[in-house]
Amino acid sequence: MASLTKKERVLAVLNGEIPDRVPIFDYLIHDGVFNHFGAESIPLRSDKHHIAACAKCLDLCHPLGGLPREPGRIINDDGSKTIVERWMSWNIPAPSQSLLTDSDGKIKEELEKQIEQCESRIGEAKPDAKKDAVENARSLEPYTGDMVYITAWACTALPYGNTERRMLAYADYPELVEKKMRLDNILTLERLQATAYKEISPVAIIWDDIAYKNRLFYPPDLLERLYFPALAEICGLFHSRDIRVLFHSDGDVTSVLPNLIDCGIDGLNPVETSAGMNYADIKRDYGDKITIVGGMDAVDVLALGSIDEVAAETKRLINIAGKSGGLIAASSSGQIDMSMPAENVVAFYETVWDYGRY
């Protein structure tokens, strides 16, 4: 088969066709890997330099969000702390935020404030939003090359903070949470109506962590009633624009995979094997309906394995998940980061390039 461009290769897989080789996707934040493939050192907060570095080894990637950053520690106004590393950051709640109580009514007050803000924003989509999105995409073309760079995205999970706080808020104020979620989805659909076009981003990603190890975060009936209808509506909008949809959730979503497929997702990421997911089972049961976007063991193999083990597991992934197409190779953790030896990541990519041909 003649060599395809990266865009042709990615879209072939997501359209159920067999490409020339398995494409590679990841959230790549690894200086050693960038250096290996000849990328310049990436300055702080330089999205364009990061995109150019990713384009040296990936077929598909998505926005980084202003990284890398200057490492440090930030004390926020609400007493929480933000720990910042070069490629990652995370929040540590204030002691009062970690309590499962709303005795002072702050959660209710904050939800009401957020609802008011959402209501004030409905219908304010800028008339020149598409023009701005096209101009932004064109400005990135010198950096992306023919790599598919995803700029169409959505989140549809329950609102209000981390999962613990979401469930607390929902238990105490279900009407407010549901109203906030409906408003969020209206605003998301308005934004996508204005900015989601195939010529700008032929692939979209929906980021919603709805599970963790071996189980869901949320009760299935809550997902059925609130989450899946919103997800289906967003997938429907993307499909109406001929945009393929990747769905990202950490954890084990096996029990609701039929629901996710019914909602219209085209690819599942990252297929977290260490959380209980099994790409062989997914390929067997749903391989004609969905693309596996991930599956490469991030913990025992990429982070802790030898180069030979990386090569062997990559071949196994290709042999099983990539049989007759249907695989975009990626880490099962949703990212390639500095916890993984650069030589292991390079071995992963090079094995895909050499072995993953059809």
What pLDDT digit, counting tens, does each position of 41-75 carry?
A: 888 888 889 999 999 999 999 977 667 888 999 88
Give residue 334's region: left, alpha or beta (phi > 0; psi -120 to 50): left
Position 93 scores a pLDDT of: 75
Element (H, E) at 59: none
Which has the closest alpha carbon to 302: 267, 269, 349?
Answer: 349
Q: Are strands 267-269 and 291-293 parallel, antiparallel or unpaired?
A: parallel
| Domain presence at residue 315 | yes
Looking at every residue in the chain, the average pLDDT score rounds to 91
Give residue 153's region: left, alpha or beta (phi > 0; psi -120 to 50): beta
What pLDDT digit, counting tens, does each position of 208-264 carry?
A: 999 989 899 888 888 999 899 999 999 999 999 999 999 999 999 999 999 999 999
Which CATH number is 50's domain given?
3.20.20.210
Share above pLDDT 70 across residues of the chain, in percent, rounded to a whole number:
96
Position 318 scores a pLDDT of: 98
Top-ranked range on mean pLDDT: pick from 120-129, 147-156, 257-266: 257-266
**Cβ(30)–Cβ(337) under 8 Å?**
yes
**Cβ(206)–Cβ(141) under 8 Å?**
no
| Domain presence at residue 164 | no
Averaged over 14-20, what is the pLDDT? Answer: 97
Which has the closest alpha carbon to 212: 178, 163, 173?
Answer: 163
Position 2 scores a pLDDT of: 78
- What CA–CA distance (Å, rounded) separates 51 from 214? 34
| Domain presence at residue 55 | yes
Position 171 scores a pLDDT of: 85
* Domain that includes residue 291, residue range: 6-69+138-159+197-355
Position 103 scores a pLDDT of: 60
Which band of pLDDT confidence, cut at 50, 70 and 90, is reported for residue 332? very high
Which band of pLDDT confidence, cut at 50, 70 and 90, is reported for residue 141? very high
User: What is 201-219 written as a DSSP string?
Assistant: -SEEEEE---EETTEESS-
Residue for token digits 């989140």? 155
| Domain presence at residue 98 | no
- What CA–CA distance (Å, rounded) separates 157 from 159? 6
- Specify the number of domains making up the chain: 1
Averaged over 151-175, what is the pLDDT? Answer: 81
| Domain presence at residue 38 | yes
Answer yes or no: is pLDDT of 287 > 80.
yes
Position 66 scores a pLDDT of: 62
| Domain presence at residue 171 | no
Answer yes or no: is pLDDT of 76 > 70.
yes
Which band of pLDDT confidence, cut at 50, 70 and 90, is reported for residue 164? confident
Q: Which residue has the higher pLDDT, 26 or 66?
A: 26
| Domain presence at residue 75 | no
Listed in sequence order, the residues at least 6 apart from 167 whose beta carbon sits closer than 8 Å to its beta carbon are 158, 217, 218
| Domain presence at residue 165 | no
Position 104 scores a pLDDT of: 67
Answer yes or no: is pLDDT of 102 > 80.
no
Give the predicted TM-score (pTM) of the model.
0.93
3 state DSSP class of 63: coil
